[in-house]
Amino acid sequence: MHRPTTKQMWAIAALILIVALAASPRLLRPVPTTPDAPFSDFLLDVQHDRVAALVVLANGLEVTRRSGDRALVAVPAGYIAGNPALVADLAKKGVRIDVSGRTPSTAVDYLWLLLTAAFVGSFGFAIYRVGTGRALVPNTGGRRADLGSISVTFDDVAGVEEAKEEVREVVDFLRTPGRFGTVGGRIPKGILLVGPPGMGKTLLARSIAGEAKVPFLYSSGSDFVEMYAGIGASRIRRLFKDARRHPACIIFIDEVDAVGRSRGGNSLTHEEREQTLNQLLVEMDGFAPNQGIVVIAATNRADILDGALLRPGRFDRQVVVGAPDVNGREQILKVHARKLALAPDIDLRATARGTPGFSGADLANLLNEAALLATRADRSAVTAADLDGARDKVMMGVERRSLSMSDHERRACAYHEAGHAVVAVALPHADPLHKVTIIPRGRALGLTMQLPERDRHVHSREFLEAQIAVLMGGRAAEEIFLGQATSGAANDIERATEMARRMVCEFGMSPMGPLAFRTTGDNTRGAGLSEATAQAVDNEIHKLVMSGDEIARKILTTRRAGVENLANALLAEESVDGDTVRDLLAAPRA
């Protein structure tokens, strides 16, 4: 965007001043130089024919004597209009009489002129500052945490024990720097907290502020990004200048990717952000001393950060704050449950096992939803039923009982979900069945929920093939028991196809071998496959999906009675848990 030059801005300011002066006749009135005279002198001058000219003003007279002297005379209100004989007598004597609307200038007029000029000058100067990129914007880059108001400590952070140990070392150094200096080591200059949203990065930083007992300056990456040139860099300088006033200090920058995004590319629209990033790089590891200053930043997009920001000497450590395991989830639930009234039958360990993949924020939301359910039911404590209901709500969505479904749609939905459930129970490598429902939740008309017995970090071929078969079980049940398929299997087909594609193209789980095949949807330069290879990939994906469909059909055909019983139970009760499903099928899980 083109910015006006300095000369252009001064010209604009001068033009504004001229227009303002021209628009104010009060300010352009000439300043009178005649002295004041008493009214009695004016009467004597008239009597002795010493008046040569007279100008009638709004609240006085401007008298010009025959000697050439001029004087201002204040007259009583209405005096001239009430004495027409005086005007006639002056006219007979040859006195020139004029009438003017001007009023004599006073000290108020001079003050008005001064204030107007000051206002116009300030306005023009502000325009000049904006046009040259030095806008009058607050030059603060960070806020100091009130340590007395931060009650979060390491005891309030659970599920990320390794990350706590990494940052605890920094806190210990800031408290007792001599402990590390005896060996010759130095504290890391920067620690980058990396992890998906909701894993507790900001909470961990707050606990550092509560534990460190040193000044804690915190800011957000977006605080340094402005449309005016130089503002972001100046805020970085101010932030580190404030930090250097203390022997030891912690600077926390949340969402650092807003300012630390990798430089380069063809776009020229991010010059201000790159200047801000350059200033941050210099402040973290430049000529200015930074002893005792530790920079802690948090991001969930470490892959887009600039390489110069991640090198040793700036962010020396990258602390991964990932999803907690079952033990971590149990500890997180215990921390958040301190503020809740729990019934004696609550088993937080069982809840932790049933919430794989949940983040700390998800678990906090789970307990809060359970507390709301207990409140709506007028219970004085949260029960196990409230936790189960809250988990279903978080994982499957809110029940939409107001949605009207025809009998045909309900029957199709019941057989569809029964098909998923029966295949899930029959396959030993599939996750255990938890609940089946035909109550609409979220965007789905029905749901089959499976819960793994333990956290999964890698997936075997048998597990993935079982998942494809479970997904295809719904559509297969519709065709076997209703004689036609519906559009309700669209999402199942999409998920099964994507799973098969990843097995072939990423996991090497096909006869094509352990090769990574990049498809045109990867948006990678030169990612396209040859026509023959692409056809082979499509064939393998087709085989995997159709194999899962065939497995599902065999299971459903063999257990027709069980599917019928489950579908009828769903039509009658709308929701059936996993144990009831296994009882209906009379086939316990292998």
What does the pLDDT average to over 348-366?
A: 86
More confident residue, 518 or 297: 297
Place of tokens 């892959």: 303
Give 159-169 pLDDT, tens digit per residue.
888 888 888 88
Q: Which of 34-38, 275-279, 422-426, 479-483 has the lowest mean pLDDT?
A: 34-38
| Alpha-carbon span 31 to 8, nearest angstrom | 33
Residues β-bridged to residue 56: 61, 99
User: With bands split at pLDDT 50, 70 and 90, how would you rate the model's confidence at 81?
Assistant: low
Q: What is the pLDDT of residue 128?
A: 59
Q: Which of 275-284, 325-334, 456-465, 579-588 has the lowest mean pLDDT?
A: 579-588
User: With bands split at pLDDT 50, 70 and 90, how would you rate the model's confidence at 110?
Assistant: low
* Residues constituting the chain: 590
What does the pLDDT average to over 398-418?
A: 84
Does residue 30 carry a pLDDT above 60? no
Residues 6+ apart with CB under 8 A from 101: 57, 58
| Active-site pick, 417, 465, 478, 540 | 417
Pair 54, 63: CB distance under 8 Å: yes
Closest CA to 135 of 242, 238, 282, 234: 234
Residues β-bridged to residue 192: 297, 318
Closest CA to 569 of 421, 430, 460: 421
Q: Mind spelling out the 3-state secondary structure of 478-502?
A: HHHHHCCCCHHHHHHHHHHHHHHHH
146 three-class SS: coil
What does the pLDDT average to over 175-180?
A: 70
Per DSSP, 339 falls in state G
- E-assigned strands of 324-466? 433-437, 447-450
More confident residue, 479 or 394: 479
| Alpha-carbon span 566 to 581, nearest angstrom | 7
Q: What is the pLDDT of residue 590?
A: 35
Q: Which of 228-232, 239-243, 407-411, 502-506 has the lowest mean pLDDT?
A: 228-232
Alpha-carbon distances, residue 442 vs 118, 261, 403, 527, 578 (angstroms): 62, 36, 11, 36, 21
Does residue 136 carry a pLDDT above 60? no
- E-assigned strands of 211-265? 216-220, 249-254
Q: State yes or no: is 417 an active-site residue.
A: yes
Place of tokens 């300030």: 122
Residues β-bridged to residue 191: 296, 317
Does residue 34 carry a pLDDT above 80? no
Residues 6+ apart with CB under 8 A from 336: 363, 364, 367
Closest CA to 509 of 540, 534, 535, 533: 540
